[in-house]
Amino acid sequence: MTPKIAVFASGSGSNFQAIIDAIASGNLDAQICGLIASKNNIGAIDKATKASIPHEVIRKADFSDEGFAGCLLDILKKWQPDLVVLAGYLVKVPELVIKTYPGKIINIHPSLLPDYGGKGFYGLNVHQAVINDNRTESGCTVHIVTEQFDEGPILAQRKVSVLENDTPESLAARILIEEHQLLPETIRKILTQRFSNS
Ligand code: GRF
């Protein structure tokens, strides 16, 4: 059976698109069962529609904490994913969801974790901090999601050099290119391992 992936996103969805492309080109044997978007009118939704992938917009602000977790769990129960991928998802995943899918939720983060992770380190803030600290290297990390923000076990990383004239935007763009390789590659490894063991 083809493994199923659910994707959560909050933004343009270029990492989501990288997964769609990896499947379409035969580099990843998987099926995307659905996208959960944290808000309306984001690029990720357009990409889901174009690829005929079902999506649900679930806005945290519309729920109590308990209601939010329950709603996400109801959808995941319907979709039955083997793996949940946070691809630029800016909302904290409720503890109950993490406990229900232990070790089965992964995230991509645009730094070499454990550096520049946790509260406040999202978007261009990450890259600005790296530049402010005169770091010569940055990169991206795929890790398992645990209750501690950006602190779960690291699965894979890719490094990029920080250039002298880098701006947060130029560094982000160079790292994003690596993210688009790293994420599908790591998903492939996880699914190959899981499915060959079962
Ligand atoms: C990526 O840099 C990812 O690492 C971070 O959010 C960004 C999402 O970009 N978590 P996109 O929506 O996949 O284009």
Phi, psi (rounded to 5 degrees) for 15: -70, -35
CA-CA distances (angstroms) from residue 32 to 20, 48, 80, 122, 127? 8, 10, 11, 25, 30
15 C-alpha vs ligand 1 centroid, how far in Å?
6
Nearest CA to ligand 1 atom 9: 88
Spatial distance between the Cα atoms of 104 and 43, rounded to a whole number of angstroms: 25
198 C-alpha vs ligand 1 centroid, how far in Å?
31
Q: Which two tokens stand for residue 158?
A: 């890719």
The predicted pLDDT at position 63 comes to 97
pLDDT tens for each residue of 3-44: 999 999 999 999 999 999 999 999 999 999 999 999 999 999
183, containing H or E segment: helix 168-197
- Mean pLDDT taken over the chain: 96
> Mean pLDDT, to the nearest integer, of 116-126?
94
68, containing H or E segment: helix 65-79
Nearest CA to ligand 1 atom 2: 110
Nearest CA to ligand 1 atom 5: 88
The predicted pLDDT at position 197 comes to 62
Spatial distance between the Cα atoms of 116 and 136, rounded to a whole number of angstroms: 14
pLDDT tens for each residue of 169-193: 999 999 999 999 999 999 999 999 9
Q: Is 11 in the pocket of ligand 1 (CB under 6 A)?
A: yes
